[in-house]
Amino acid sequence: MAIATINPATGELLKTFEPLSDAEIAAKLDLAQQAFDSYRKTSFESRSLWLQKAADILEQEKSEFAKLMTLEMGKPYKAALGEAEKCAQVCRYYAENAAGFLADTQVLTDASHSFVRYQPMGVILAVMPWNFPFWQVFRFAAPALMAGNVGLLKHASNVPQCALAIETIIQRAGFLSGVFQTLLIGAAKVADLIADDRVKAATLTGSEPAGASLAAAAGKHIKKTVLELGGSDPFIVLESADLETAVSFATTARMLNNGQSCIAAKRFIVVEAIADKFEKLILEKFAALKVGDPMEPDTDLGPLATPHLLNELDHQVQTAVKSGAKVLTGGHRLSHRPGNFYEPTIITDIPPGSPTEQEEFFGPVALFFRVPDIDVAIKVANATPFGLGASAWTTNEQERDRLIEEIEAGAVFINGMVKSDPRMPFGGIKRSGYGRELSIEGLKEFVNVKTVWVK
């Protein structure tokens, strides 16, 4: 794939970039290692000041960063503003809390003095996706840099200007030269980076094949990885739920980021007693969505990021229909306008055992399942290879406790939509990946947990 900015709302090629040569990559690796040798000795106070400055830049210039995100991958501008603000929040969270999280932990043993010390690992490679082009990077960079590591970013090839802008923000904030560098390279170069002795670990957010490839390369060299991969999150609605509120959140959760989010609600699982009413209300909500120019402030749904994604999503929908599924609304690309637009779509009557049940739909397509009770709801929720997040709606305490305990996912939200929060760990199980980002757990993924024993 070429490294280029192509406006997904128009298909216009705006800017191309020459990938780094092998010599340029080698020079950046040298600089990263040199930076780590100095940066690891800096104080938490200095790192905190720099990260707070990065937060200031993000807040003060959020409109420009938001325009860049919308231009490169098509998310609604109002959502892009929120993304820039959230990046500032994660910077402030770690600037304020990392020192305490990484303080020596005293342990009583037979030693005179014994404790656990947390030390940085070194150069960490981050392979990041296009769908949240700022947030995905900053939720890695903020804890990694506060821990004393340095970062190399291999961003998605369709958001190169976002990648370069992030590097510039960190430089402007005052971090030492080489502490965070963007590598404009293709995916084929990732294995060589993993093999390099200077790279100590890697994190990837993206597809299952990309995650498997990275994990295999890292395993060959016995290097740690954190993977956040796909999801087919259930959105369970039981009879006791506040139905209108649930429907409103269901619409938002499915259409988040033009439907291109790992933690979007992709499968609506509704008990039969209220399924007709849910269907009526959700169809009204979908019909009211404004599809159009993502730069316009009142746009609800913009384009998919690339023509490939549009074609893949449409193929999935048409395959579902051929297998016997029914389209309640939508089901087609918008051919009357340029760009990668797809109609808000709901599919139901999905044949049991068909591929549609197991796949992730990365776009504005929801799957609707009617179930008789909570037992079947939980069974359907768990009947996928994924286990990232789940949203469930009930006012019954016993139902709530069962949903929390029995749903197979890295996160369960009761009466709310799944979201990431710097204060809470984020990640999945099964084929949704392993390891955690955010919170204290995310901070400690890329540190040496050193046992110290003194007599």
Q: Which residues are identified as catalytic?
A: 228, 262
**Residue 319 region, left (φ>0) first, then alpha (ψ -120 to 50), else beta?**
alpha
Cα(182)–Cα(152) distance, integer angstroms: 6
How far is the first Cα of the chain from the last one, in angstroms, to the nearest whole number? Answer: 58
Helix or strand (DSSP H, E) at 208: helix 208-220
Residues facing 6 on adjacent strands: 13
Contact 287, 346 (CB under 8 A): no
Give the contacts of 338 (CB within 8 A, at least 6 positions apart): 9, 10, 11
Biggest CA-to-CA distance, the chain: 77
Backbone angles phi, psi at 316, to 5 degrees: -60, -45
> Torsions phi, psi of 122, nearest 5?
135, -135
The Cα–Cα gap between 88 and 28 comes to: 26
Q: What would you report as the CA-atom Rg of the chain, rounded to the nearest whole angstrom?
A: 23
* Nearest-angstrom CA–CA distance, 273 and 261: 30
What residues pair up with 37 in beta bridges, in sequence order?
Answer: none
